[in-house]
Amino acid sequence: MGYPFQYIEEKWQAFWAEKQTYKVEQPSDKPKFYVLDMFPYPSGAGLHVGHPLGYIASDIVARYKRHKGFNVLHPQGYDSFGLPAEQYAIQTGQHPAITTEANIKRYREQLDRMGFSFDWSREVRTSDPSYYRWTQCIFSLLFDAWYDKKEDKARPIDALIQHLERFGTTDLNAACDDDTPSCTAADWHGMSVEEKQIFLLRFRLTYLAETEVNWCPALGTVLANDEVVQGVSERGGHPVERKKMKQWSMRISAFADRLLKGFDSLDWPEPLKEMQRNWIGKSVGASVRFCVENSHREIEVFTTRPDTLFGVTFLTLAPEYEWVNEITTPSQKAEVDAYVKQAAQRSERERMSEVDRISGVFTGAFALHPITNEKVPIWIGDYVLAGYGTGAVMAVPCGDQRDFDFATHFDLPIKNIFKNVDVSEAAHTSKENTRIANSDFLDGLPVAKATQKVIEALAKNGMGEGATTYRLRDAVFSRQRYWGEPIPVYYVNGQPQLIPDECLPLELPKVSKYLPTPDGAPPLGNATEWAWDTTQNKVVSNDKMDNKTVFPLEKNTMPGWAGSSWYFNRYMDAHNSDAFASKEALAYWKEVDLYLGGSEHATGHLLYARFWQYFLYDFDFVPVENFAKKLINQGMILGESAFVYRIPDTQTYLSKGLCKGKKVIPVHVDVSLVSAQNELDIEGLKKWQPHFAEATFKLEDEKYIVGREVEKMSKSKYNVVNPDAICDQYGADTLRMYEMFLGPIEQAKPWNTAGISGVSNFLNKFWRLFHNGETFVVSDDKPTKESLRILHKTIAKVTQDIEQFSLNTSVSAFMIATNELTNQKCNHREILEPLIVLLAPFAPHICEELWSLLGHNESVTTASYPVANPDYLQDDTKAYPISFNGKMRFTLELSTSLSKDEIETAVMQEERTQTYLDGKTPKKVIVVPNKIVNIVV
RNA sequence: GCCUUGGUGGCGGAAUUGGUAGACGCGCUGGAUUCAAAAUCCAGUGCUGGCAACAGCGUGUGGGUUCGAUUCCCACCCAAGGUACCA
C-alpha cells in the first residue's frame, strides 16, 4: 500500500491557498531573495511534463531559501499576448482575450496541482491593461530619450533640445541613424516645429523610420531579426523577404557596448553569453576611403585587417551599392545592369543555399589606393552584403579566403604581403606569427603593430580612421497584429505624437475582424473607434476625424518581447497604479537573484530585457543595471515518440524487427498506446484513429513492437506526457522529485515514465519510516550514533547540492538515507524531524502531513533548516606524513583507530612495502583492508 | 566553415576536480511472501573467460605527462545547440 498522496496533496494545497502561506511582504528585516521563472505563454495545449522542470527547480530553491531565513519573492504570471490566440480569433471570431483567459485558467489548475509556492497575489499578465499601461509608458519614455555617447547613457530628449538650442550639433556625440545630421544653433532656431520633430526623431531611442525589414507575407507581419531563423520565420517556418516599410524601431544598437561589457558582473551560462556576443558581433578595425578615379565619389570600406592595406588588388561592392550606376563605365553598363538585376531577384534563401557559387562583374571603374595611389579595379560581387559595414570591401586576396576565391575565379592579381608565407593555394588568414612584407613602411612588422601604423598614416592623410562596427541592428518594434499592446501614438501631419501619460492605458479597440484590412492596413485598421481627440484626451470614433483636434491613432501594435522586457520589476509591486513599481519596492528587491528559463531566449527576450533595464537605470527608475544576477538555462525534456511502419501503398504495418532492408514509412502513434516494453496496443490504436481499423499488422513473437525516437514534445508527434496523469497515478511529490532525478537541470533529456517507480518507492519508504503498519509511530529515545551520522551526512550533501544546483544528486542522497535508516530501523524524532525539513522543498505535501503528524501546528515552511554537525561527518581515515630514508615523503590515509606507530610498523612489515618505497613503483597501497587507503608523494 | 557544450554499463546518470570508475534509480536474473497475481522485501548484475577463488579488458579514438588519468596536455572522430559569404 502506498501512502495516501491524493488525500494529502489536496488537503495541503487547500491549506496553503487558504492561509496564503506563500504571500510575501516587503520590507522585512530578513534578507531578500528573488527567484523567478520565465513566465509562460498560456497556449491552448496546456502544460506537458517538460514545462514544469524549471518551475520545480526554482520552487525547491525558493522553499529552501525560506527555510534558510530569507524573505523570498517567488512570483508567476503570463506572457499573454501572442500569435496563437490571435490566429484562433481569425478562424473563429472569438476575442483573443477570451481564449487567453480560458487557457490561463487551465494553466493555473495544472500549476496548482504541483504544489508550487508561488505568491499568486502578485500575478501579472502582459495583456492586462493595468499592466500594459506601463509597457506603453516605457515606450513613451524611450521616445522622449536619446543616447549621449559622451556620458555613455540615455538622457531625456529635453537635454538634447537644450544642447541644440545653444550649440547646434557642435560637440554633440549622440547615437543616431547612419549619417549624423548636423546643424548650427541658428539652423535649429530657424526650423519649423515640424522640421524640428523630424530632426529629433533621428535621435530618439524609439523612432519611426523607413527601414528595410523582414516581411513575412504568410504571417502578414514584420519580424525582428531574432524571429527569423535561417531565412524563414521562427514560428511556422514561412519564407521571409526584405522590404522597405515605415516602422517603429528601438535603438538597441546604442547600447551595444554596454550589453557586451555588462557580462563581466553576470553569473550567466557561458554559452548564452557567447550567443549574445555573437549576436552583437563587435568587430574592431578601420574604415578606409578610396577615391574613385575621374569622379568626386569616395568608396568607404570597413576592414578588420587594416594591416593588409598594401595587399589590396581590387574593391568589391554589394550589388545593391548606392551609386553603382554612376561609376560604371559605358562599356560595362549592360553587363552590370544585368548582374544587379539578377542579384536582386535572387532571394535571401537562394543566396544562402548557393554560398559556393562565385559571381561578380567588373564596373570598368578604378579606385585609387589611399596610400600608394595605385589604380585598383572596382568589382561588384554578391558575396558582399549591403547590410553590413558599408556594403563595400577592400579585397585582399592573399589574406582573405573569399577575396582569394573571387580573385582566382576572375583571374585578378594576388599580391603577397606576408613574409615567408605561401599564398599560391589559399589565403593566409592567421594573425599569429605573421609579419608583413612588400608593404612600404610596414615591412617586417607584426599584425598588431602594422594595424596601428596604418591607422596613423590614414589619419594623417585623411583617408581613414580606426572604426568599430556591430552586427546588432536596431530592433523593429511594429507588428501588424491585433493581439499586442497598442503603441500610444497619434499622428499630426504624419508626425508621431505621444498620448499623454495620464491618459494611459490606451486600450485595444474592438474590431470586427482580426485580419489586415483589404487595403493592407494592420488589423487595428478595422476599428471604427480609433482616433484621438486632443481636446478631450480620449479615443473617439473615426468619423470625428478632422484636421484640427481629432487625429488618427497608430495602427501597429508592439511585438511580443515588449511586455516581457520589464515584467520582473512589476512583480515587486504588482498592484501599484501610480508607478510600474514603487521606489521602495524596487530598492528592497533590487534584482532577480536567480532566473530560470530556456536558452532559446538568448538573443531575444534576454537581450531586450537587458537593454530596457539599462535604459530604466539611466533614467533612475530602477536601482540596478542588471536585472538578473544569476541565470540558469534548464534543458528541455524531450518526448520519446513511437512509430509504426507502413509498407508504401498498402495498409500493412510491420513490427520493428521485420523492417530490416524493407522500404517502410514511419508513422507517429500515440505513446500512451505503447507499453514500457515497446509493445503496441493494437486494439487501442484502432479505436484511436479509425483509419487503422482495416490495417493489417505483421507481428514478431505475437507482438507488434514499435520504433522509438527522441524528439521535442509536441501534440502533432503524439508524444506528449501530461503532468495531470502523472499526478493522478503517482502524486505531485513523486512527479517533482522524478523530474529532478532525471538528470542535471541544464541538460536536455528524454522523458521516460517507466523510471518513476523508483522515486515513488522512495516516498513510500520514507512514509513508512514514520509508520508501523497503518499507525504513526515515532520514538523520542536517543537515536544511535550511526543514525545521527546518516542524518548529518545527508544534511551536508543536500545543502551543498542545492547551493550548487545539483538537484538530481540530492534526490539520490535522500534515497540512500531512507534505505539506510530503514535498515537501522530508525524511527527517532531527533532524526526524522530534521529530515522532513530537508525534504520539504522537494516533496512539500508529504512533508507537511508528516510535520503535522509530529504535532506541529504551523506549516513546515516556517521550520528552520537543519545544519550539519561536523562531529558526525568525520571520516574514518586520517592522514599521517611518513618519511623513508630521509628522502621521500608519503602521506598515509588510514584508520584513526590505529596509532601512528602501529601504522608505520604495518607499512614496514608489509611484504610489498619495499617495492612501494624503492622510488619507482606505485604509492597506492592497501596494507590492511579498508584501513590504510593511500600513499601519496 | 566558425563558436559553444558534451561523449562513462542494456538505459537515465554519479565520481569530494589527479587517488578502489560505474553512486542512486530504471531494467534484467534468482529467491522470499502469495492459491495466483499485483505490491513489498532480500540477493546478484560493466564486459570476457572460469563451477569457483581469480585473471584479463574497460570512461569516443590515437598519443603524451604522472607512481597513478573519466579528470591535465596534443591530435583526431562523433553528437547536440548556436551562427554564418560579417570583410
Cα gap A527→A90, rounded to integer Å: 15
Residue A937 (CA) to nucleotide B77 (C1'), in angstroms, measures: 37
Question: What would the pLDDT profile of A207-243 be if each residue is shown by its tens digit?
Answer: 998 877 777 777 777 777 777 766 677 777 777 777 7
Residue A778 reports pLDDT greater than 80? yes
Report the helix count and the strand count for chain A, using DSSP H and E.
29, 35
Residue A895 reports pLDDT greater than 70? no
Which of the residue ranges A128-137, A205-214, A474-483 would you say has the lowest mean pLDDT? A205-214
Tell me the DSSP string of A82-119. Answer: -HHHHHHHHHH---HHHHHHHHHHHHHHHHHHTT----
In the structure, what pLDDT confidence band is assigned to residue A783 with cuts at 50, 70 and 90? very high
Q: Is the dihedral of CA A461, A466, A471, A474 positive or negative?
A: negative
The cell numbers describing A749, all together, are 533529456
The cell numbers describing A419, all together, are 613574409
In the structure, what pLDDT confidence band is assigned to residue A893 with cuts at 50, 70 and 90? very low
Q: Give the nearest nucleotide to A762, CA to C1'.
A: B25
Closest CA-bearing residue to C1' of B25 = A758
CA distances to A448, A640, A732, A748 from A711, rounded to whole Å, are: 48, 6, 25, 11
Question: What would the pLDDT profile of A79-93 be if each residue is shown by its tens digit?
Answer: 999 888 998 999 999
DSSP H stretches of helix in A144-269: 157-167, 185-190, 193-201, 256-261
Q: Give the nearest nucleotide to A388, CA to C1'.
A: B86
Question: What would the pLDDT profile of A701-713 be if each residue is shown by its tens digit?
Answer: 777 878 777 788 8
Q: Is A697 exposed, middle or buried (0-12, 13-18, 19+ CB in 10 A)?
A: middle
Q: Give the nearest nucleotide to A383, CA to C1'.
A: B85
Specify the pairing of strand A314-317 against strand A392-395: antiparallel
pTM: 0.89
Residue type, A293: E
Report pLDDT for A104.
Answer: 97
Closest CA-bearing residue to C1' of B5 = A271
- The residues that bridge with A32 in the sheet, in sequence order, are A71
Residue A404 reports pLDDT greater than 80? yes
CB–CB of A21/A117 below 8 Å? yes
- CB-contacted nucleotides of strand B (7 Å): 3-5, 11-15, 19-20, 23-28, 39-42, 67-68, 80-87
Question: What would the pLDDT profile of A854-875 be if each residue is shown by its tens digit?
Answer: 999 999 999 999 999 888 876 5
Residue A266 (CA) to nucleotide B61 (C1'), in angstroms, measures: 38
Which of the residue ranges A124-128, A527-531, A849-853, A878-882 would you say has the lowest mean pLDDT? A878-882
Report pLDDT for A32.
Answer: 97
CB–CB of A79/A126 below 8 Å? yes
Cα gap A191→A181, rounded to integer Å: 14
Of A199-213, A568-582, A676-690, A758-772, highest mean pLDDT:
A568-582
Question: What would the pLDDT profile of A47-62 be if each residue is shown by its tens digit?
Answer: 999 899 999 999 999 9
Q: Give the nearest nucleotide to A394, CA to C1'.
A: B87
DSSP conformation class of A596:
E
Closest CA-bearing residue to C1' of B3 = A274
In the structure, what pLDDT confidence band is assigned to residue A526 with cuts at 50, 70 and 90? very high
Cα gap A531→A538, rounded to integer Å: 8
Q: Is the peptide bond before A27 cis (omega within 30 degrees of 0)?
A: yes
Query: Alpha-carbon Rg of chain A, whole angstroms?
Result: 35
Residue A280 (CA) to nucleotide B8 (C1'), in angstroms, measures: 37
Residue A18 (CA) to nucleotide B45 (C1'), in angstroms, measures: 50
CB atoms within 10 A of CB A209: 15
> HSE on the CB side for A87, CA within 13 Å?
11
Q: Give the nearest nucleotide to A813, CA to C1'.
A: B24
Residue A475 reports pLDDT greater than 60? yes
In this structure, what are the phi and psi dihedrals at residue A464, rounded to the nearest 5 degrees?
Answer: 170, 175
Cα gap A570→A77, rounded to integer Å: 10
| CA proximity to A128, closest of A83, A77, A88 | A77
CB–CB of A347/A329 below 8 Å? no
Q: Give the nearest nucleotide to A816, CA to C1'.
A: B24
Residue carrying C-alpha cell 529635453 = A158
Closest CA-bearing residue to C1' of B82 = A275
Report pLDDT for A918.
Answer: 36
Residue A894 (CA) to nucleotide B63 (C1'), in angstroms, measures: 37
Region A148-165 average pLDDT: 95
Residue A80 (CA) to nucleotide B65 (C1'), in angstroms, measures: 58
Q: Give the nearest nucleotide to A386, CA to C1'.
A: B86
Residue A919 reports pLDDT greater than 50? no
Average pLDDT, chain A: 87
CB–CB of A778/A827 below 8 Å? yes
Cα gap A571→A134, rounded to integer Å: 13
Residue A916 (CA) to nucleotide B65 (C1'), in angstroms, measures: 21
Residue A671 reports pLDDT greater than 70? yes
DSSP conformation class of A192:
-
Residue A24, helix vs strand vs coil: coil
Residue A890 (CA) to nucleotide B65 (C1'), in angstroms, measures: 21
CA distances to A309, A359, A410, A419, A762 from A400, rounded to whole Å, are: 12, 17, 16, 16, 62
Q: Give the nearest nucleotide to A399, CA to C1'.
A: B87
What is the predicted ipTM?
Answer: 0.93
In the structure, what pLDDT confidence band is assigned to residue A926 with cuts at 50, 70 and 90? very low
Report pLDDT for A799.
Answer: 95
Report pLDDT for A644.
Answer: 86
Report pLDDT for A477.
Answer: 92
Cα gap A92→A415, rounded to integer Å: 67
Report pLDDT for A694.
Answer: 87
Which of the residue ranges A102-106, A208-212, A573-577, A779-783 would you say has the lowest mean pLDDT? A208-212
Question: What would the pLDDT profile of A168-178 be if each residue is shown by its tens digit?
Answer: 999 999 998 76
Instruction: Give the rounded percent of residues in chain A with a pLDDT score beyond 70.
Output: 91
- The residues that bridge with A870 in the sheet, in sequence order, are none
In this structure, what are the phi and psi dihedrals at residue A299, rounded to the nearest 5 degrees?
Answer: -105, 120
Residue A344 reports pLDDT greater than 60? yes
Residue A678 (CA) to nucleotide B27 (C1'), in angstroms, measures: 13
Q: Is the peptide bond before A505 cis (omega within 30 degrees of 0)?
A: yes
Which tops the pLDDT comparison, A733 or A218? Answer: A733
Report pLDDT for A370.
Answer: 94
Report pLDDT for A916.
Answer: 39
The cell numbers describing A182, all together, are 548636423
- The residues that bridge with A464 in the sheet, in sequence order, are A288
Residue A585 reports pLDDT greater than 90? yes
Q: In whole angstroms, what separates CA A915 from the centre of its chain?
A: 58
| CA proximity to A76, closest of A34, A35, A120, A43 | A120
Cα gap A84→A76, rounded to integer Å: 21
Which tops the pLDDT comparison, A508 or A906? Answer: A508
Q: What is the dihedral of CA A333, A338, A341, A344, to 10 degrees?
A: -110
Residue A774 (CA) to nucleotide B31 (C1'), in angstroms, measures: 27
Question: For the packed helices A270-280 and A605-618, what is the interaxial angle rounded to 10 degrees?
Answer: 80
Q: Give the nearest nucleotide to A801, CA to C1'.
A: B16
CA distances to A649, A715, A742, A761, A886 from A721, rounded to whole Å, are: 32, 10, 15, 21, 67
Region A813-833 average pLDDT: 92
CB atoms within 10 A of CB A312: 28
In this structure, what are the phi and psi dihedrals at residue A250, rounded to the nearest 5 degrees?
Answer: -110, 130
Q: In whole angstroms, what separates CA A754 from the centre of its chain?
A: 31
Residue A911 (CA) to nucleotide B80 (C1'), in angstroms, measures: 52
Tell me the DSSP string of A752-821. Answer: -GGGHHHHHHHHHHHHHHTEETTEE--B-SPPPHHHHHHHHHHHHHHHHHHHTT-HHHHHHHHHHHHHHH
